[in-house]
Amino acid sequence: MTRVRVTAPRTAARPTPRLSASSPALESEVGQVYVRSLIRSQLRLAVVVACGFLVVLTACGLLIGLVPGIAEAELLGVPFAWLLLGAGLYPVIGLSAWLYNRAAARNEARYRDLAQDG
Amino acid sequence: MSPAVGIAAFVLVSVATAVVGFYGLRISRTTGDFYVASRTVRPWWNASAIGGEYLSAASFLGVAGLILLSGTDALWFPVGYTAGYLMLLLFVAAPLRRSGAYTIPDFTEARLESRAVRRVTSLVVVAVGWLYIVPQLHGAALTLRITTGLPSWLGSLAVVSVVCLTVVAGGMRSITFVQAFQYWLKLTALAVPVVFVLLSLAGNNTPPVADAALNPTSLPTAGAYQNISLMVALLFGTLGLPHVLVRFYTNPDGSSARRTTLIVLGLLSVFYLFPTVSGLVGRVFAPELADGGRADALVLLLPGRLVGGPAGELLSALVVAGAFAAFLSTTSGLVVSLAGVISQDVLGGSVAGFRLAAVLAAVVPFGFSLASDSLALAGSVGLVFAFTASTICPALLLGIWWRGLTDAGAIAGMATGALLCGGAMVTGTVMGSTTPGWLAQPAAWTVPAAFGVMVLVSRATKRRVPASVTRIMTRLHVPERKLATERTFVPGTSGR
Closest by CA to B61, choosing from B295, B285, B231, is: B295
User: Which residues have a Cβ under 8 Å from the Cβ of B391 and sit 6 or more positions away?
Assistant: B124, B128, B240, B414, B417, B418, B421, B450
Q: Residues in chain B, how many?
A: 496
Query: What pLDDT shows up at residue B226?
Result: 84
Residue B487 has pLDDT above 60, yes or no: no
Interface confidence, given as ipTM, is 0.85
Q: Do B212 and A82 touch (CB under 8 A)?
A: yes
Query: Whole-angstrom Cα distance, residue B213 to residue B487?
Result: 58
From B359, B27, B381, B377, select the one nearest B162 (Cα to Cα).
Answer: B359
Superfamily of domain B3-376: Sodium/glucose cotransporter (1.20.1730.10)
| Helices assigned H by DSSP within A67-88 | 80-83
- Our CA dihedral for B321, B324, B330, B333, rounded to 10 degrees, sits at -90
Region A105-113 average pLDDT: 90
For B183-201, how does the pLDDT look when each residue is reduced to its tens digit (9 = 90+)?
A: 998 999 999 999 999 988 8
At B13, phi and psi to the nearest 5? -65, -40
Q: Residue B483's pLDDT is what?
A: 45
- pLDDT for res B173: 56
User: How confident is residue B330, by pLDDT bands cut at 50, 70 and 90?
Assistant: confident
Given a contact cutoff of 8 angstroms between Cβ atoms, the answer to whether B177 and B99 are in contact is: no
Cβ-based contacts under 8 A for chains A and B: 170
B445 has a pLDDT exceeding 90: yes
Residues A85, B79: C-beta atoms closer than 8 Å = yes
Please name the helix (run of DSSP H) or strand (run of DSSP E) that holds residue A28, with its range, or none. none
Question: B475–A91: do the CB atoms touch at under 8 Å?
Answer: no
The confidence score (pLDDT) of residue A48 equals 96
Q: What is the mean pLDDT of residues A64-89?
A: 81
Q: Which chain B positions have a beta carbon within 8 Å of A93's beta carbon?
A: 79, 82-83, 86, 265, 269
The proportion of chain A whose per-residue pLDDT surpasses 70, expressed as a percent, equals 75
pLDDT at B374: 62
Which residues pair with residue A75 across a beta bridge? A78
pLDDT tens sequence across B301-317: 888 888 878 888 888 88
Q: How far apart are CA B109 and CA B101, in angstroms?
A: 9
- Per the model's pLDDT, the better-predicted residue between B405 and B340 turns out to be B405
Name the DSSP letter for residue A10: -
Could you say which residues from 4 to 63 on chain A have a Cβ atom under 8 Å away from some Cβ of chain B? 4, 6-12, 14-22, 25-26, 32, 35, 38-39, 42-43, 46, 49-50, 53, 57, 61
> What pLDDT score does B23 carry?
66
| Contact at CB, B89 and A22, closer than 8 angstroms | no
pLDDT of residue A17: 46
Q: Band of the pLDDT at A104, cuts 50, 70, 90?
A: very high
Contact at 8 Å (CB) between B51 and B363? no
- Cβ separation A105–B115 shorter than 8 A: no
CB-CB: which of B86, B106, B401 is closest to A53?
Answer: B86
Pick among A1, A14, A93 to test the B interface (most B CBs inside 10 A): A93
pLDDT confidence tier of residue A3, bands split at 50, 70 and 90: low
Instruction: Give the total number of structural domains in chain A.
Output: 1
Higher pLDDT pick, A63 / B485: A63
Helix axes B351-371, B152-204, angle to 10 degrees: 70
**CA B195 to CA B238: how far, in whole Å?**
30
For residue A52, the model assigns a pLDDT of 94
Contact flag A26-B265 (C-beta cutoff 8 Å): no
Which of B32-36, B296-300, B346-350, B384-388 shows the lowest per-residue confidence on average (mean pLDDT)? B32-36
A91: chain B residues, CB-CB within 8 Å:
269
Q: Pick from B182, B183, B168, B170: which is nearest to B23 by CA?
A: B170
pLDDT for position A10: 45
User: Given CB atoms, is B475 within the 8 Å cutoff of chain A?
Assistant: yes
pLDDT attached to residue B485: 42
- List pLDDT tens digits, range B36-86: 544 566 788 889 988 988 888 888 888 998 898 888 888 999 999 999 999
Q: Give the model's pLDDT for residue B317.
A: 87
Q: Domain range for residue A71? A: 25-117
Q: Which of A4, A14, A25 faces B30 most closely, judged by CB atoms?
A: A4
* Stretch (H or E) spanning A78: strand A78-79
What pLDDT does B209 receive? 78
Closest residue in B to A98 (Cα) is B262
Question: Closest Cα to residue B321, out of B24, B51, B15?
Answer: B15
* B286 φ/ψ angles, rounded to the nearest 5 degrees: -140, 55
A19: in domain: no
Map residue A88 onto helix, strand or coil: helix
Per-residue pLDDT averaged across B341-348, rounded? 79
Lowest mean pLDDT among A11-25, A40-54, B152-166, B176-190: A11-25
Percent of chain B with pLDDT over 90: 25
- What's the rounded Cα separation, in Å, for the pair B354 and B23? 20
Nearest to B73 by CA among A69, A68, A65: A65
Instruction: Please give the share of chain B, as a percent, with pLDDT higher than 70.
Output: 90
Residue A60 carries which side chain, given as an amino acid letter? Answer: C
- Is A103 part of any domain? yes
A residues 52-111 lying closer than 8 A (beta carbon) to B: 53, 57, 61, 64-65, 71-72, 78-79, 81-82, 85-87, 89-91, 93-94, 96-98, 100-101, 104-105, 108, 111
For residue B202, what pLDDT is reported? 83
In a domain, A1, yes or no: no
Q: Is residue A11 in a domain?
A: no
- B146-150, B235-239, B262-266, B381-385: the lowest-pLDDT one: B146-150
Please tell me which of the candidates A8, A105, A111 has its beta carbon nearest to residue B350: A8
The three-class DSSP label of residue A98 is: helix
Query: Which among B30, B82, B480 has CB closest to A21?
Result: B480
> What is the 3-class SS of chain B, one letter each residue?
CCHHHHHHHHHHHHHHHHHHHHHHHCCCCCHHHHHHHHHCCCHHHHHHHHHHHHCCHHHHHHHHHHHHHHHHHHHHHHHHHHHHHHHHHHHCHHHHHHHCCCCHHHHHHHHHCCHHHHHHHHHHHHHHHHHHHHHHHHHHHHHHHHHHCCCHHHHHHHHHHHHHHHHHHHHHHHHHHHHHHHHHHHHHHHHHHHHHHHHHHHHHCCCCCCCCCCCCCCCCCCCHHHHHHHHHHHHHHHHHCHHHHHHHCCCCCHHHHHHHHHHHHHHHHHHHHHHHHHHHHHHHHCHHHHHHHCHHHHHHHHHHHHCCHHHHHHHHHHHHHHHHHHHHHHHHHHHHHHHHHHHHHHCCCCHHHHHHHHHHHHHHHHHHHHHCCCCCHHHHHHHHHHHHHHCHHHHHHHHHHCCCCCHHHHHHHHHHHHHHHHHHHHHHHHHHHHCCHHHHCCHHHHHHHHHHHHHHHHHHCHHHCCCCHHHHHHHHHCCCCCCCCHHHHCCCCCCC
Q: Round the average pLDDT of chain B to a whole number and report it.
A: 83
Query: What per-residue confidence (pLDDT) applies to B480?
Result: 79
* Whole-angstrom distance, CA of residue B253 vs CA of residue B92: 13
pLDDT band for position B22 (cuts 50, 70, 90): low
CA distance B461 to B453: 12
0.90 exceeded by the pTM? no
A108: left (phi > 0), else alpha (psi -120 to 50), else beta? alpha
Quote the CA–CA distance of B36 and A39 in Å, as a whole number: 27
Q: CB-based contact (8 Å) between B469 and chain A?
A: no
Q: Note the pLDDT of residue B392.
A: 94
Max distance between CA atoms of chain A, in angstroms, equals 68
Q: What DSSP designation does A75 have?
A: E
The ranges assigned to domains in chain B are 3-376
Q: For residues A55-70, give the mean pLDDT.
A: 85
Chain A residue numbers with beta carbons less than 8 Å from the beta carbon of B211 are none
CA angle B477, B336, B141 (to 5 degrees): 130
Which has more confidence, B380 or B119?
Answer: B119
Q: Indicate if the pLDDT at residue A1 is higher than 80.
A: no
pLDDT value, residue B225: 87
CB contact under 8 A, B262 and A101: yes
pLDDT digits (tens, 9 = 90+) for A9-46: 444 434 444 444 455 566 677 888 888 899 999 999 99
Residue from A3, A18, A20, A51 whose CB has the most chain B CBs within 10 Å, to mutate? A20
pLDDT at position A21, please? Answer: 46
Rounded to the nearest 10°, the torsion over CA A21, A42, A105, A15 is 20
Residue A8 confidence (pLDDT) above 60: no
